[in-house]
Structure 1
Amino acid sequence: MVAPALRYNRTVEVFQPMSLPALIVIAIIILYIINSIKILKEYERGVIFRLGRISPAKGPGVILVFRPLDQIVRVSLRQEAMEVPPQDVITKDNVTLKVNAVITLRVIDPTKAVIEVTNYIYQTSQFAQTTLRSVLGEVNLDELLAHRETLNQRIQTIIDGHTAPFGVKVVSVEVKQVDMPESMLRAMAKQAEAEREARAKIIHAEGEFNAAAKLVDAATLMATQPMTLQLRYLQTLTEIGVEKNTTIVFPLPMELMNLLNKTLTPGSEK
C-alpha cells in the first residue's frame, strides 16, 4: 500500500500552479513583445537605430522594435506642400516686390532624410528662400510676369540640386503671389491704357487706309466705265426715296454742265 501513495503524491506535484513571480515575469515578457510590434502604413518607412547604428529602412507592415536597444524614426513618403514666406525681391530693373511660392516635395530615400540632415523641411525652406530671391533678382518685371512657368522650372531645378544629397525630391515650384507697390500698379495701368489707345488708333488708321484704297479702285473703275457712274446715280436716288426725305438733290453729269456752260457763254460758238 505504500507504493501507490507515493505515485499519487508525485502526480499532485506535477499539476501544482506556477508561482506568482513566474507569472509576473511571463506577463512582462508578453507585454514587451506586444509593445515591440510596430505597424507601418503603406506610405511610411521606419528608420531603425540599433545600439546607435543605423539599419536599412523597414516597412510597410509589421516590424519589431526592441527598446531600448532599438530606436525608430518614422518617415512619410507622401508629397508635402510647403509655403515659402514672402520674400523681398529687387528685380533687374530695380523694382521692389514681395514674392511667395509653394513647393511640393517628397522623400525618396528615408535613410538619407534622417541621417544627412536635422530637419529636411526646414532645410528645403531655407534653400527655397535664397533661390527665390536669387533667380527673380536676375530678371526684369515684365519677364517675371510673362515667363513665370520658365522661372518656376528654373527654381525647381536649383532647389532639387540642393535637396538631392539628403534624399528629398522637389516635385514642383509655383510662384504664388507677386505684390507690387501702388505706384507701380498705377504706372502699369497707365501703360496698358496707352497701349490700348495706340492699338485702337492703328486699327482705325488701317481701316481708313483700306477704305481710301477701295475708293481709289472704285474711281478708277468709274473713269474707265462711265455707265457705272450713271448706275450709281440711280442707286443713290433709290436710297434717298426709301428714306422719305423732303429734299432730293439730283446730280448732273459733268458733260451736261460743260455743254450748258458753252451754250450760255457768249462767243463760245467761235
Structure 2
Amino acid sequence: MTGFTLGFGGALFVLAAMLLVSAFRIFREYERGVVFMLGRFWKVKGPGLVIIIPLVQQVVRVDLRTVVFDVPPQDVITRDNVSVNVSAVVYFRVVTPDKAVIQVEQYIEATSQLAQTTLRAVLGKHELDELLAERERLNLDIQKVLDAQTDAWGIKVSTVEIKNVDLRESMVSAIAKQAEAERERRAKVIHAEGELQAAEKLLQAAQILATQPQAMQLRYLQTLSNIAGEKSSTIVFPIPMELVDDWLRRRDKPPA
C-alpha cells in the first residue's frame, strides 16, 4: 500500500512539474501571443517570458515580420480588350495580432487570394498603354485597394510591385509596328518644323537684303567665290546687276 502511494505521489509530482514547465513560454521580439481564456479572447502578450495557465489558457503565436509572397501570373483583360499575363509581389505584415487570428483563418493564404482578385480587378480598368508606361501609379492603386480590404484582418499591405507583363507574340509585333509608325510621324513633324524655320529665316534674310542693295551685291560675289573654289568645269560669267536692271527697264518700256 505504501509503495502504491509513493508511486501515485511521484506520478502527480511529475505531472505537476510538466504542467509547470509548459506554463512558461518565450516569445521573440518579432512574435506576439494571442491568449484565449476558456476559448474566449483574453489579451495579446509578448515579447519575452509569458506564463500560460495550462488547460485554462491557450496561446497562438503570430509573427509580426514583413511577409513577402509572389502573386501567381494572372490572365487580365485590359479595358481595350487586350489579354495579358501579369505577375506581382506583395509585401505585408500583421499590425493587430488578435484580428489576424480571430477575424480570418490562415491570414497569409487569405491575403494571397485577395491579392490575385484585386490585381485582376484593378488592371482590368486600365488600357494596355497605361499598364506598360504607368506601373508606379498602378502599383499604388493596387496597394491602396488591398490595404483597405485587409484592414479588418489587422494586416497592413505596405507595397505591391508588378513584376512581369507578358504579351502574346502577335501583340508584341503590333506594338513594334505602332512604335515604328510613331517614330516616322515624329521624324516627319521634325522635318516639317525644320522647313518652316528655314523658310522664316530665308524670309528674314530676303527682307534685310532688299533694304540694302550693296548687301545683295556682296552676297552675289560670295556665291561666285564659293563656285570658283569647287573643282568643276562650270564657267561662270558675272554680269553687273545694273546692266540687267537697265535691260529690264528697256524691255518693259513701251515703243515710241
Same fold (TM over 0.5): yes
Tell me the SS of whatever aligns to 1:56.
Answer: strand
* Offset, 1:236: 3.1
Q: 1:29-40 to 2 correspondence within 5 Å? A: 29=16, 32-40=19-27
Q: 1:72-87 to 2 correspondence within 5 Å? A: 72-87=59-74
Whole-Å separation in 2 of the counterparts to 1:180 and 1:192:
16
Counterpart residue number, 1:140: 127
Long gaps (5+) in structure 2:
1-5
CA contact (8 A) 1:104 1:171 kept: yes
| Alpha-carbon distance change, 31 to 225 in structure 1, aligned in 2, over 3 angstroms | same
CA contact (8 A) 1:108 1:167 kept: yes
Tell me the SS of whatever aligns to 2:161.
Answer: strand
How high is the TM-score relative to the length of structure 2? 0.83
Q: Deviations over 1:51-80 (max 9, x none)?
A: 323221101111123434433211111111
* Offset, 1:90: 1.0
* Offset, 1:240: 4.6
Whole-Å separation in 2 of the counterparts to 1:154 and 1:262:
79
| Alpha-carbon distance change, 253 to 207 in structure 1, aligned in 2, over 3 angstroms | farther
Whole-Å separation in 1 of the counterparts to 2:85 and 2:249:
84
Work out which of the residue numbers 107, 112, 121 in structure 1 matches 2:94. 107
| Alpha-carbon distance change, 91 to 261 in structure 1, aligned in 2, over 3 angstroms | closer
| Alpha-carbon distance change, 253 to 215 in structure 1, aligned in 2, over 3 angstroms | farther
* Offset, 1:190: 0.5
Whole-Å separation in 1 of the counterparts to 2:138 and 2:30:
31
Whole-Å separation in 2 of the counterparts to 1:247 and 1:261:
26
Q: 1:1-270 to 2 correspondence within 5 Å? A: 29=16, 32-240=19-227, 249-257=236-244, 259=246
| Alpha-carbon distance change, 85 to 261 in structure 1, aligned in 2, over 3 angstroms | closer
Whole-Å separation in 2 of the counterparts to 1:190 and 1:135:
28
CA contact (8 A) 2:33 2:44 kept: yes
Q: Deviations over 1:75-133 (max 9, x none)?
A: 11111112211111111211111112211111111011111111111111121111221
| Alpha-carbon distance change, 61 to 227 in structure 1, aligned in 2, over 3 angstroms | same
Whole-Å separation in 2 of the counterparts to 1:84 and 1:251:
81
| Alpha-carbon distance change, 232 to 125 in structure 1, aligned in 2, over 3 angstroms | same
Tell me the SS of whatever aligns to 1:55.
Answer: strand
Amino acid across the alignment from 2:82: V
Long gaps (5+) in structure 1:
1-18
Amino acid across the alignment from 1:89: V
The root-mean-square deviation of aligned C-alpha atoms, in Å, is 3.0
CA contact (8 A) 2:36 2:43 kept: no
Number of residue pairs matched by the alignment:
249
Amino acid across the alignment from 1:156: Q
Identity of matched residues, % = 53
Amino acid across the alignment from 2:100: A
| Alpha-carbon distance change, 168 to 246 in structure 1, aligned in 2, over 3 angstroms | same
CA contact (8 A) 2:76 2:84 kept: yes
| Alpha-carbon distance change, 157 to 81 in structure 1, aligned in 2, over 3 angstroms | same
* Offset, 1:253: 3.4
CA contact (8 A) 1:45 1:74 kept: yes
